[in-house]
Every structure is written in structure tokens, then in C-alpha cells.
Chains A and B, each alone.
Chain A
Amino acid sequence: MGQEPLTYAFSLRSDISELQTLGRRLESIGVDLKLSKRCLFELNLALDELFTNIISYGYGDGHEHRIEVTLQADERMLNVTIEDDGVAFNPVERQAPCLPHSVDDCRVGGLGIHLIRNLMDEVCYRREGQKNILTLKKKIETISSHPYETGA
């Protein structure tokens, strides 16, 4: 026991096409950590929603920015940190949207953040200097720990 946690770090340009890079990076980390398809999907979805939010609302200057992503994995938990230098934005303090009863009262605002909060085990926000720092925790589910998944 007491293994050193594995660390993965990469950065993304503030461009929507970088969603592909994010997907590819997470895919290879998923293979490395033997994450179940569901676990990898949920991780990818949470980071996709965050990244898309940051580049949609975080910058108004037309310049290219970098969003830094760090993942640390021990036997049980994934700890993810996302740092950006966009405008201060705390997704944790947003009210959860009311879930719709019919198509007419269904609104899409806040949906991404609602998904993040439901897919992650913990979401924390802090502002440090000019940076938004979001930390996420997710319990690891590996292929072997999931009896119904073959990994095929």
C-alpha cells in the first residue's frame, strides 16, 4: 500500500476544437488507469462542460488563453484540478435548476453545471489572484471492479 499517486498534466488552448484533444487525452489516461467506460465518460463529460463554459464566458479579449488540467489518481480517487485565467466564476454557488416536467418548461441554462455536480463526488472552487481553480473528486471505477463490463 501507500503507492505514489499517478499524475497527468496537460493544457488546452481556449478554442472549442480542443474538446477533441481533451477527449483523446482522457481516453489514454483511461486506458492507463483501466477506467470503466462509464467512469471515463463521466469524467470526460464533466471536464467538457467546464471547458466549454470557460471558453464561452471566461474571456472577452479575443486572445488565446490556456486552461491547465491536472489529474491525480490514487487507488480509489481521481483528483482533478482545472485552472483558467478568465473572469471570476464560481459554478459551485449556482442554484441547481428545477428539473422539467414537460418539454415546455424545459430550459437549458445551467444544465452543464447541473451535470458536473451530479457526475462528480465533490466540486470545490477557489479564486487565487487572477485564476479560477476548480477541484473535482471522482471515485475510480475500473474495468475489473465492474462485473458487468468486459471492457470490449
Chain B
Amino acid sequence: MDIAEEKQAGVHAFKLKGRLDSNTSLAFEQRLFESITNGTKNVIIDFKELDYISSAGLRVILKATKALKRENGKIMLCAMQDYVKEVFEIAGFDAFLPIVPTLDDARRAL
């Protein structure tokens, strides 16, 4: 998996590419938490080029969401393939995670 990062106006966007599974979730978790530890309050995760996610990936997102909530921060998820979005729905994560169609939508919401 490739992770591209972009910081702009106090928002840290992570653009994921490839597969987020038990093999790759730890590297992503480290990058995310490095940012949160350094004071990032607003995080966007861009799924546009992510082809695959498993429960290991969901766990990282959940952990980050909890950590950001403790810091009064926010997380937005965007640009998911429909079958990736379905995984969030089956897990019930769409009840508390904002999922929007595009990166621009996510930026506007923060």
C-alpha cells in the first residue's frame, strides 16, 4: 500500500492506494498516530485509490476516530468504491463516521 500525505490549512489528508489489510495496517496506523501525536486535529482519509480493506483496516480507522474525539478533533472519509463503503455499512461504522463522495466535500466539511 502507498500512502500520500498532504497538509493544508490545518487539515492532514492521507491518500491511500492499494490494499489496507493485516499486512499494511500497522504502517498506516503509525503514520496516522504520528500526526495525531504532533497535534493534528482534522484528518481526511481519501479512499479513491484504495482497492481493498479488511477488518484490520477498520480497526485502525476506529482507533484514530477515538483518539481524535478525545482531542476534540474530526475525521472525514471520502471517495470510497461502493464495495469498500459496503464494508463500513456492514460493520455499522457508517453510524458514526462521516463518509462523503469527494475530497472537496471532505475539505468543505472540516
The chain A residues found within 8 Å of chain B, CB to CB, are 16-17, 19-20, 23, 37-38, 41-42, 44-45, 48-49, 52, 99-104, 106, 108, 111-112, 114-115, 118-119
Given contacts A19-B22, A42-B83, contact A115 B55 (CB under 8 A): yes
In the assembled complex, the Cα of A119 lies from the Cα of B69 at a distance in Å of 30
Identify which of B54, B69, B82, B97 contacts A48 (C-beta below 8 A). Answer: B54
Q: Is the CB of A100 within 8 A of B59?
A: no
Question: Is B19 an interface position by the 8 A CB rule?
Answer: yes
Q: Is the CB of B93 within 8 A of A100?
A: yes
Closest 5 CB pairs of A and B: A99-B92, A38-B83, A111-B55, A112-B55, A103-B96
Identify which of A41, A103, A114 contacts B52 (C-beta below 8 A). Answer: A41
Q: Which residues of B contact A103 (CB under 8 A)?
A: 62, 65-66, 69, 96-97
8 Å CB interface, B20-48 against A = 21-23
Q: Is the CB of B59 within 8 A of A108?
A: yes
Question: Is B3 an interface position by the 8 A CB rule?
Answer: no
Q: How far is the CB of A76 from chain B (nearest CB, A)?
A: 20
Least CB separation from A111: chain B residue: B55
Q: Is the CB of A108 within 8 A of B58?
A: yes
Question: Is B9 an interface position by the 8 A CB rule?
Answer: no
Question: Is B90 an interface position by the 8 A CB rule?
Answer: yes
In the assembled complex, the Cα of A49 lies from the Cα of B22 at a distance in Å of 9
Q: Is the CB of B54 within 8 A of A45?
A: yes
Least CB separation from A113: chain B residue: B55
Q: Which residues of A contact B81 (CB under 8 A)?
A: 37
In the assembled complex, the Cα of A100 lies from the Cα of B90 at a distance in Å of 11
